[in-house]
Amino acid sequence: MAGSPRRPAGRRLQLPLLCLLLQGATAILFAVFVRYDRETDAARWHWGNRSNADNEFYFRYPSFQDVHAMIFVGFGFLMVFLQRYGFSSVGFTFLLAAFALQWSTLVQGFFHSFHGGHIHVGVESMINADFCAGAVLISFGATLGKTGPAQLLLMALLEVVLFGLNEFVLLNLLEVSPDGDGVGGWGWAGPGAERGGRGVAVGARGCPSTSAPPPQVKDAGGSMTIHTFGAYFGLVLSRVLYRPQLEKSKHLQGSVYHSDLFAMIGTIFLWIFWPSFNSAPTALGDGQHRTALNTYYSLTASTLSTFALSALVGEDGRLDMVHVQNAALAGGVVVGTSAEMMLTPFGALAAGFLAGAVSTLGYKFFTPILESKFKVQDTCGVHNLHGMPGVLGALLGVLVAGLATHETYGDGLESVFPLIAEGQRSATSQAIHQLFGLFVTLMFASVGGGLGGLLLRLPFLDSPPDSQCYEDQIYWEVPGEHENLVQGALRAEEPETQA
C-alpha cells in the first residue's frame, strides 16, 4: 500500500472535480426549476383542504423505501462478490446512484412534470428517480471493475438523459399509426400530449388517478425501460471498451467464500423487495396489490428453476453461487411489464420459471460466448439477469396486453389499459404498441451505449490498467486483511495486569 504514487495530478483530480462540477450544476438547476409538488408543499396541500390520510405519501412511501433499499443495499452488495472490489462495488454504487437521483429528478421532471416553468417533486418523483438509478447500476454491472469512478459518473450523466428520453417516448409519444400495418412509424401522440399540457405533477409511469396522459406503452416495473435498457446500454458500452488483455487481472475476477456471502445480502434484499419495485408506480388499490402478488409468485418459481438448472449443469451436480445470486432474481425482471396486468398466479409462476431457467443457462453457456465471440466482457452477467429476462418480460407484456378483455378486467380496464377502455385502441393494437416499445428501447440502449463507450474512451480519462481491473487499491485506501489480527493475537498472548 505504501507503494509509489501511480497517478498524475490530472488524473487524481478528475473524480473530485467532476463531483463538484456535477453537484454544482444540479444544485443550480434545482434552485431554478425544482419545487415541491402539491402533496409536499405546505401552502398548496393545506389549501386543498384534503385529509392528511389522502396524501400520496401513505400509499407509496413504504414501497418507495423498499425500492430505495434495493438500489443501495441490493445492487450495492450484489456486486461485492468480487474478492478485491468490494469497496468499489458498494462505494461506486453509492456515488453513482446518489448522483443519478438528482440528475434524473431534473431529466424526468422536464419530460413528465414540467408545468409553469417548474418541476414538481414528491414521492412519485422519488420512485422514478430511484428507477432510473437502477438502470444506471445495471449498466455499471456490465462494466464492473474495468472503469474508474469519473468514467462512471460520465456514463451516468449520459445514461440518465437517454433513459428519460426513452421512457418519454414509450409513455407519451409512441403511437403506431392506426392505419398502418402495426410496425410502421411512430409519431407524437396528439391527444396524450394535449392532455399532458394541462396536467399537474404526475408520475412518469402513468398513475391513472392524475390527469396525466395515459401511457402509450405500459411498463410499470420496467422490463423494457429499466432492465432491457440498462442491460443493453451497458453491454454495448462494455463492447466499445473491450480489453483484449483482461486476463492480466484474471486472478481477481473470482469470488472468495465470504465475498459470496456478502453478495447474498444483495440478492436477498433484491428478491424480497421486488414485489414493491414492480408495484411502486402502478395504479392504487387492486393495481398495486395484484402487481406485488404476481411478482412474489414469479420470484418463487425463478428460484426453483435456478436451483434445478444450476445443479443439472453443474460439475458433479454442484450448485453455483453465481446462479443463485443472480438468476433467482430473473422472476422479478420478467414480470416487470405484465405484473400489473391480469397475468394470473399461474402465469406468474410460468414466467418466473422460464426466466430463471433462461438466466441460469445464460450464465453457464452464453456468457463465455459473449466474451469470446462478441467481445463483450459482462462482469456481472447483466445480459443473463436483466437483458434476456427483460426482453422476455417485454414479450410477455405483448402477450398479456393482447389478451386483455373487458370481461377479465371489468371496470379495472380503465386503470390498466386506459386507451383500450376508452375505445381508442384494441387489445391487439396495444400489444403492437408494446412490441414496438421494445424495439425503440433496444435502439435507444444500443446507440446510447455506443455513444457512452466512445465518451468513456476519451484518452485523458482515468481508467484502471488491465492488470489492476477488479482491484480496489487503485481508487481506495485499502487496509490489510490479516496482519493486524496476527499481531493482535500475539500481543494478547502476553501476560498483563488488569488496569
**Cβ at position 182, least distance to its own copies in Å:** 26
Per the CB < 8 A criterion, the answer to whether 302 and 329 are in contact is yes
Binding test (CB under 8 A) with its own copies, winner from 116, 190, 423, 480: 480
Question: Which of helix, strand or coil describes residue 436?
Answer: helix
For its own copies, give the closer residue by CB, 181 or 411: 411
Angle of helix 427-456 versus helix 388-402 axis, rounded to 10: 160
**Binders of its own copies among 369-428, rule CB under 8 A?**
407-416
Query: Which letter does DSSP use for residue 335 in this model?
Result: T
Cell of 218: 405500459
For its own copies, give the closer residue by CB, 170 or 241: 241
Judged by CB under 8 A, the number of residues near its own copies is 168
**Binders of its own copies among 104-123, rule CB under 8 A?**
105, 121-123
Strand partners, 175: 187
The DSSP element (H or E) to which 175 belongs, if any, is strand 175-176
For its own copies, give the closer residue by CB, 436 or 470: 470
Binding test (CB under 8 A) with its own copies, winner from 111, 131, 262, 363: 262
Per the CB < 8 A criterion, the answer to whether 240 and 315 are in contact is no
The DSSP element (H or E) to which 187 belongs, if any, is strand 186-187
Distance CA 139, CA 188 (A): 29
Distance CA 292, CA 23 (A): 35
Query: Which letter does DSSP use for residue 171 in this model?
Result: I
Stretch that binds its own copies, among 91-99, 170-178, 186-194, 363-371 (CB under 8 A): 91-99
Task: Give φ, ψ of 121 to 5 degrees.
Answer: -120, 150
**Cβ at position 148, least distance to its own copies in Å:** 10
Stretch that binds its own copies, among 217-225, 303-311, 376-384, 394-402 (CB under 8 A): 303-311
- The answer to whether 365 contacts its own copies (rule: CB under 8 A) is no
In angstroms, what CA-CA distances link 191 with 18, 91, 110, 424? 41, 45, 19, 10
> Which amino acid, 120?
H
**DSSP alpha helices (H): ranges in 336-381?**
345-361, 367-372
Binding test (CB under 8 A) with its own copies, winner from 240, 311, 395, 399: 311
Stretch that binds its own copies, among 6-14, 158-166, 171-179, 228-236 (CB under 8 A): 6-14
For its own copies, give the closer residue by CB, 300 or 446: 300
**Cβ at position 195, least distance to its own copies in Å:** 21
Order across the sheet with 118-121: list the strands.
Answer: 34-36, 118-121, 114-115
For its own copies, give the closer residue by CB, 75 or 444: 75
Binding test (CB under 8 A) with its own copies, winner from 140, 229, 269, 363: 269
Per the CB < 8 A criterion, the answer to whether 265 and 421 are in contact is no
Per the CB < 8 A criterion, the answer to whether 194 and 248 are in contact is no
**Cβ at position 374, least distance to its own copies in Å:** 23
Distance CA 67, CA 275 (A): 9
For its own copies, give the closer residue by CB, 446 or 474: 474
Stretch that binds its own copies, among 164-172, 197-205, 221-229, 261-269 (CB under 8 A): 261-269
**Binders of its own copies among 425-454, rule CB under 8 A?**
none
Distance CA 375, CA 238 (A): 9
For its own copies, give the closer residue by CB, 342 or 431: 342
Per the CB < 8 A criterion, the answer to whether 256 and 83 are in contact is yes
Q: How many beta carbons lie within 10 A of that of residue 155, not counting itself?
A: 25
- The answer to whether 301 contacts its own copies (rule: CB under 8 A) is yes
**Cβ at position 362, least distance to its own copies in Å:** 17
For its own copies, give the closer residue by CB, 24 or 178: 24
Residues 6+ apart with CB under 8 A from 146: 238, 241, 243, 246, 377, 379, 463, 464, 469, 470
**Binders of its own copies among 202-231, rule CB under 8 A?**
209
**Binders of its own copies among 11-30, rule CB under 8 A?**
11-13, 15-17, 19-20, 22-23, 26-27, 30
Stretch that binds its own copies, among 40-48, 221-229, 384-392, 441-449 (CB under 8 A): 40-48
Query: Comparing C-alpha atoms, which of 211, 190, 47 is closest to residue 115?
Result: 211
Stretch that binds its own copies, among 346-354, 362-370, 428-436, 439-447 (CB under 8 A): 346-354
The DSSP element (H or E) to which 461 belongs, if any, is none
Query: Which letter does DSSP use for residue 213 in this model?
Result: P
Binding test (CB under 8 A) with its own copies, winner from 346, 373, 423, 460: 346
For its own copies, give the closer residue by CB, 161 or 293: 293
Show the binding pattern over residues 62-81: x = contacts its own copies (CB under 8 A), - = does not.
x--xx-xx--xx--xx--x-
For its own copies, give the closer residue by CB, 431 or 438: 431
**Cβ at position 232, least distance to its own copies in Å:** 26
**Binders of its own copies among 169-188, rule CB under 8 A?**
none
**Cβ at position 383, least distance to its own copies in Å:** 21
Stretch that binds its own copies, among 60-68, 219-227, 370-378, 424-432 (CB under 8 A): 60-68
In angstroms, what CA-CA distances link 113 with 11, 116, 199, 222, 275? 38, 10, 8, 19, 26
Stretch that binds its own copies, among 90-98, 198-206, 384-392, 427-435 (CB under 8 A): 90-98
Task: Give φ, ψ of 289 to 5 degrees.
Answer: -60, -50
**Cβ at position 214, least distance to its own copies in Å:** 16
